[in-house]
Amino acid sequence: MRTSQYLLTTTRETPADAEIISHQLMLRGGFIRRLAAGLYTWLPLGLRVLRKVESIIREEMERTGAQEVLMPAVQPAELWQETGRWEQYGPELLRFTDRHQRPFCFGPTHEEVITDLIRREIRSYKQLPANFYQIQVKFRDEIRPRFGVMRAREFLMKDAYSFHLDQTSLEQTYRQMYEAYSRIFERIGLTFRAVQADTGAIGGQTSHEFHVLAASGEDAIAFSDKSPYAANVELATALPPTGERASPKETLSLVETPKQRTIEEVSQFFNIPPSRCVKTLLVEGSEGGFVALALRGDHELNEVKAQKLPQVASPLQFATPEQVRETCNADVGSIGPIGLDIPLIADHSAAHLTDFVCGANQKGKHFTGANWKRDLPEPITADIRKVVDKDPSPDGKGFLSIARGIEVGHIFQLGEKYSQALNTTVLDETGQAIILTMGCYGIGVSRVVAAAIEQNHDEHGIIWPDPIAPFQLALVPINAHKSVRVRETADQLYSQLQATGFEVLLDDRQLRPGVIFADMDLIGIPHRLVISDRGLDAGTIEYKRRRDGKTSTIQLDNLIPALK
């Protein structure tokens, strides 16, 4: 590609509304442009990176034998009503009606659609196990879209769904996917960790998240210094030392809060900086909504960001502990602030909870067996690190240390959650219908691009890992408009290098060399070749590696072998 004919728009200024480095550099380097909150256009340069990430993911999915499909982004409400998620999912689900007033949503995830497909398509146990994936646009109406494509509303996801006759088969595929994910992030060149995780709105029992380690990460993850134990702090602090789910007998503290307060005020009331706000559980009871602050023993249950509540229609009423006890009748095992089994706390946004009614309004969906008590322990002002860094590892081996991570992937053992609701069965050897067991596996393809920058940049700009760089080589002729020799050599090398398989960006913009160098550094091209009259006099060209700035002089007639 020649820059003179390429849409390359770089800026020196840091955009005011971009808080984190990846967002800043993606704007400054001309990788993305914002259309509206959480909606981004991928410019040619950015799209090249996105496609590289995509193709590494696709290769590794194919290698596991998963089959690629492409499902519609728009989904009929009926399917979501069948699984109950139409009611449960909350305001992150973008709902709308067509011209016939039929309700639809823009898919935030595709469990319903794939399960519906499979219940129609797969008849016999002989066709299983099977795993289907797609790379496709999702929409989640995030309460606070930010950090550019890192937390967008429309974003690209790779999602896969596997179907099995039994748990053993699910576990095999789950393992395979775990390994495929590890290979994907290794190939991209990221420093990452797989951690045990909460299952959130997707559901199921076992799940792991893949986190790219970076100071800007929105999640905190806990590692043991003496064992392979690693978990999202959400989970690490929510689980008792055995590593099993907390018993319903777990003591929770419930704190009475003043009436009709916003979440910001609640966080103020508890004397917690909004960025370290503890989980506020917003529960809608038959008497109206209330907010409870859940704490486990003398620990913070979780780390949650304070969120605004634009979606709450009526002013909130805050309940007393007595009201909570009454409303949250203990009769179902899996739901509660400790079990973390439910959509309730899926995305840490309290607004999300208003639509997931977990009080008396919905039968069978209650808090369970929590012993609520009135006393508020010490106000939690400490950084989560201080709380958990001191803790022994839940597996009893060593102590925890905390790092920040960006969730780039998440795999789940779903069990029968969707296949049961959508009555998805096959006939086994004896002709008996059995309900399928499922797994699902997501990667935030577009988020990976931003995460890669968080880990790979310096004061001059991005430093792409080679496998996802938009171009591998920047070819920079100095004063080409004055020197025919330089121009011709550049043209020749450009064709030669491309023919050899290199992806080359030839900078023929006739700008000052300093400006070109700064641009090539900013957009992160891993390797740079400079052609100048002075070099050509000596039969050489200059090579510079972006990552460490190391330069060397290469004999022109030995260029291709030297680059390989």
Chain contacts with ligand ATP (rule: CB under 6 A): 109, 140, 142, 151-152, 155, 157, 200, 202, 347, 407-410, 442, 444, 446-447
Q: Is 23 in the site for Mg ion (CB under 5 A)?
A: no
Give the nearer residue to Mg ion in terms of CB position, either 407 or 521: 407
* Shortest separation between residue 473's beta carbon and ligand ATP, angstroms: 30
187 versus 325: smaller Cβ distance to ligand ATP: 187
Q: Tell which residue, 50, 208, 233, has the closest CA to residue 137.
A: 50
Between 205 and 268, CB nearer to ligand ATP: 205
Of 146 and 509, the one with the shorter C-beta distance to ligand ATP is 146
Q: Where are the alpha helices (DSSP H) in 288-409?
A: 321-327, 350-355, 384-389
Tell me which H or E stretch contains 222. strand 219-224
Q: Considering the rule CB under 5 A, would residue 521 count as an interface residue with Mg ion?
A: no
- Provide, rounded to whole angstroms, the least separation between the CB of residue 195 and Mg ion: 11
* Smallest separation, CB 78 to ligand ATP (Å): 22
Query: Under rule CB under 5 A, which residues in 335-354 are in contact with Mg ion?
Result: 347
Q: Which is nearer to ligand ATP, 412 or 543 (CB)?
A: 412
Is 111 among the residues that bind Mg ion (CB under 5 A)?
no
The residue (of 85 and 140) whose beta carbon lies closer to ligand ATP is: 140
Q: Does 528 help bind Mg ion (rule: CB under 5 A)?
A: no
- Which of ligand ATP, Mg ion, none does residue 157 bind (CB under 5 to 8 Å by kind)? ligand ATP
Pick the closer one to ligand ATP by CB: 304 or 476.
304
- Select the binding partner of residue 289 from ligand ATP, Mg ion, none (C-beta < 5 to 8 A, by kind): none
- Rank residues 444 and 526 by Cβ distance to Mg ion and give the closer one: 444
154 binds Mg ion (CB under 5 A): no
User: In this chain, which residue has its C-beta nearest to ligand ATP?
Assistant: 444
Is residue 159 a contact point for Mg ion (CB under 5 A)?
no
Task: Quote the least distance from Cβ 12 to ligand ATP, whole Å.
Answer: 28
Those residues whose C-beta lies under 8 Å from the C-beta of residue 281, and which sit 6 or more positions away, are 291, 292, 293, 294, 337, 344, 345, 350, 353
Which partner, ligand ATP, Mg ion, none, binds residue 409 by CB below 5 to 8 Å per kind?
ligand ATP
Residue with token string 């009454």: 326
The residue whose two tokens read 């559901």 is 203
Using alpha carbons, select from 532, 471, 535 the residue that is nearest to residue 497.
471
Q: What residue 142 binds from Mg ion, ligand ATP, none (CB within 5 to 8 A, per partner kind)?
A: ligand ATP
* Nearest Cα to Cα of residue 254 among 381, 97, 104, 370: 370
Q: Which of 239, 225, 218, 221 minimizes the C-alpha distance to 296?
A: 239
Q: How many CA atoms lie within 13 A of 418 on its CB side?
A: 28
Rounded Cα gap, residues 38 and 152, in angstroms: 4
When binding is defined by CB under 5 A, the residue of 110, 164, 208, 410 that contacts Mg ion is 410
3-state secondary structure 88-120: HCCCCCEEEECCCCCEEEECCCCHHHHHHHHHH
Measured between alpha carbons, how far is 89 from 511 in angstroms, rounded to an integer? 53
Q: What is the spatial distance between Cα 483 and Cα 248, in angstroms, rounded to a whole number?
A: 79
User: Cis omega before residue 129 (within 30°)?
Assistant: yes
Query: Residues touching Mg ion: how many (CB under 5 A)?
Result: 3
Q: Which of ligand ATP, Mg ion, none does residue 46 bind (CB under 5 to 8 Å by kind)?
A: none
- Closer to Mg ion at the Cβ: 245 or 410? 410
C-alpha 325/C-alpha 372 separation (Å) is: 7
Contacts to Mg ion by CB under 5 A: 347, 407, 410
